[in-house]
Structure 1
Amino acid sequence: MMGSALFRVTGALLLAGICLSPPAAAEPIQVTDLAGRVVEIDQPIERFVLSEGRYVSVLALLRPETPVEGLVGMMSPLWWTQPDLERQLFEKFPEARDIPLFASKSEHSVSVEKIIELKPQLAILGLSDHGPNARSAELIAQVEAAGVKIVFIDFRLDPLNNTIPSIELLGKLLGAEEQAARYIEFYRQRLAAIEKRIPEITHRPTVFLQVHPGRRDCCWAMAEGMLGPFLTFVGGRNIADELAPGPTSQHTEEYLLTENPDVWIGTASGTVEEFQEGQNVVALGVGMTRETAQQSLARYLSAPAFQAMGAVQNGRAHVIWHNFYNSPFNIVAVEAFAAWVQPELFGELDPDETMRTIFREFLPFDLNGTYTASIPNE
């Protein structure tokens, strides 16, 4: 009896010892980032840094229960691009308030010393954004020399082709492959619904995609890169891309009047406060309603040069939230462009409902405000 009891106790202690032992580190994984670099990194990743604060929304998409877990530093705060999202982040995940910053708005402000002090295993950087990027050779060399691995993602330089691989890469690195797969399926389905009807296009309207209307002098356009390729994808002709290849280019009012594009689209970066103050910068986002967004757009387009454009006269002038240009939620912009450029084929699309669906099904936050608007067709 005693020997049997001793055996049971000993067995239980051995089992407890096995259960209480720290788990063995997983094998390193090898990934190829969006710069084509092969990176091998130990798992799990428990400490990492981000370049732009806007990428916190990607973390929330992939890990809605623990979006900032392991995030030990980032270049810029989330509030610069999404203040309402930052407010909700701080309310639901108070630990986010204490995440250190290692720069401000540009690559030149980055403190490599601060990054190294934070002791991350991994730095997640944009292929081409406002912070350190794939061309930052000196910074890359210094950070990697300190034992920090670097991977590049991209929602800005070539979002049409790089959004899904970026989500897939981050899902693998952060142990969120199932959630990444869910969003990728959502994204692909919506993209495919547009792509399958492209062969039906018989006419490609001309489009001018103007950046920051009212914030910059007239008229800066997106051309090759950012949201520009979406126009070609949905059946439009991006006139800025044809004239001056490159991410952005400046054009005169006379150019707009001469070209007289069939469709005019602005990327709005104004805020509700600027709208209420009477400023002539087109506003969308938090605090804006459908009515105030239309008023803001109409205010800007009341200038004689715009009033002479056929796109304004024919009710084909629209505006979209500027921050879709560097976001995994850019599928909303694809759908909006499709509905505006080829309304006969895609008029039934509802990009606003797509935005609501993303927040409802994938994010731990509430959606506030208005993110697209059109000039009333009177």
Structure 2
Amino acid sequence: MTSAIPTPTRFGVPAPTRLGVFLGAVFGALLALLAVAVPLSSARAEIRVTDVLGREVVLEKPATRVVLGFYFEDFIAIVGPGATDRLAGVSLHYWKGYRPRQYEAYLAKFPAIGDLVDVGDVDNATMSVEKIVAARPDAVILSAGQYDYLGANAAAIEQAGIPLVVVDYNAQTLEKHVASTLVIGQVMGTEDRARRLADAYRAKVEDTRARVAKAATGAKPKVYVELGQKGRDEFGNSYGKGMWAGVVDLAGGANIAAGQVASWGPLNPEYVLSEAPDAIFVTGSEWMSMPHAVLLGFGIDPATTRERLRPYTERAGWADLPAVKNHRVHAIYHGGTRSIHDYVYLRYMAKVLYPEAFADVDPKAELAAYYAENLPIAPAGNFMLPLDE
């Protein structure tokens, strides 16, 4: 009869075997890795965003309930399918008020947007922190102008634990368009879509710049842009900086409003005549309640646009302007600026100024392609056209 081999002991406690030592070491290493991994995963879950004002904003996760102040179609394009389901509130005036038929097209597609909280707007001094917070968002995206309007009160949004980011397409620069697009993509967790849109925008703008640089060998053609809300008898705003001024600059035009108005405002009629613009662009939109406005956009036919545009050419002295004599008076969609697809309107304007350089560019086809690829509705209507075919 054999006796069992006694288990080695140390100080009365069984001594570990080699296997036990090995397993203990492995277990200890795993615990160490877990201890490191937990805080690392938490760090990865945080989303750190630097907005266009250079403010660093931290989100725990991609936003699912957003208050959106402006740039509604850009948001939908950047976020992609389900974008409207991730809205908690909007500044309704800037969508339904500015672009009523565009809003109606989205409302028909997504009826739930009719129930979104309206947080007010800057134009009517109704936007408030209280309305924004009451919408219970997990993120707020405002334009630079809206952020400025709220001023010191904007801090109350963040004090309520709600991340606030600022974007700015109104500046009408390539850099801020790209930055704004990437910021929205970060906030919403759709960075790939945002990067694709930003890269496409950059490519179109740079292609336009290259064509203009090659074609603009002499004096730049003079350009006059007017907000077409008031009709023939009263001059509407023109743009000295930002918005259409930025488009004119990129298109290779000499903006006659530059230096005359700081941002926007009407020009003196005699000054417009003295400058003798080579091309005139009157902006239009779905301003159905304005009896003399140039109508353009969703659901607007060319005949209606031209009927509202033609009286502008009947202003005193306009018959002698180069733009009128040479049939270079155009209607262009006012919503065609401050957007990630405004390169379409840039290229339309550039083609008017330098037709040979853009002979192979079809801005209307580019607009249709953008919608087909990035948005859930079609651009049914007219968005840019000459007064005379």
Q: Which residue among 204, 222, 235 is the counterpart of 1:190? A: 204
Q: Which residue among 368, 372, 376 is the counterpart of 2:380? A: 368
The residue matched to 1:136 in structure 2 has which SS?
helix
Shift of 1:126: 0.2
Alignment of 1:95 with 2:112, yes or no, is: yes
Q: How does 1:51-70 map to 2 (within 5 A)?
A: 51-52=69-70, 55-70=71-86
Greater shift, 68-77 or 251-260, is seen at: 68-77
Alignment of 1:166 with 2:180, yes or no, is: yes
Distance 2:198 2:174 in 1: 13
Q: Sequence identity of aligned pairs in percent?
A: 25
Distance 2:74 2:236 in 1: 31
Tell me which structure has the larger Cα radius of gyration: 2
Give the equivalent residue in structure 2 for 1:29.
Answer: 47
Alignment of 1:248 with 2:264, yes or no, is: yes
Alignment of 1:344 with 2:356, yes or no, is: yes
Distance 1:161 1:334 in 2: 16
Give the equivalent residue in structure 1 for 2:323.
Answer: 311
Distance 1:139 1:273 in 2: 34
Q: Which residue among 57, 66, 73 is the counterpart of 2:89? A: 73
Maintained 8 Å contact 1:51/1:75? yes
The residue matched to 2:249 in structure 1 has which SS?
helix
Maintained 8 Å contact 2:100/2:286? no
The code of the aligned residue for 2:162 comes to V
Give the equivalent residue in structure 1 for 2:17.
Answer: none
Give the equivalent residue in structure 1 for 2:26.
Answer: none
Q: Which residue among 196, 215, 223 is the counterpart of 1:207? A: 223
The code of the aligned residue for 2:190 comes to A
Give the equivalent residue in structure 1 for 2:62.
Answer: 44
The code of the aligned residue for 2:283 comes to T
C-alpha change, 1:273 and 1:115, in structure 2 (3 Å) is closer
Alignment of 1:231 with 2:243, yes or no, is: no
Give deviations 1:110-132, integer Å, cap 9, x for gaps. 1322222222221100012xxx2
Give the equivalent residue in structure 1 for 2:161.
Answer: 147
Maintained 8 Å contact 2:120/2:127? yes
Shift of 1:344: 2.8
Q: What is the number of residues matched between the two proteins?
A: 344
TM-score normalized by the length of structure 2: 0.82
TM-score normalized by the length of structure 1: 0.84
Give deviations 1:290-335, integer Å, cap 9, x for gaps. 3332333223322333223121111111121111223222112211
The residue matched to 2:125 in structure 1 has which SS?
helix
The residue matched to 2:202 in structure 1 has which SS?
helix
The code of the aligned residue for 1:229 comes to G
Alignment of 1:296 with 2:314, yes or no, is: no
C-alpha change, 1:301 and 1:213, in structure 2 (3 Å) is farther
Distance 2:257 2:121 in 1: 31
Shift of 1:245: 4.9
Give the equivalent residue in structure 1 for 2:340.
Answer: 328
C-alpha change, 1:224 and 1:74, in structure 2 (3 Å) is same
Alignment of 1:262 with 2:278, yes or no, is: yes
Maintained 8 Å contact 2:198/2:340? no
The residue matched to 1:79 in structure 2 has which SS?
coil
Distance 1:321 1:190 in 2: 19
Shift of 1:181: 2.3
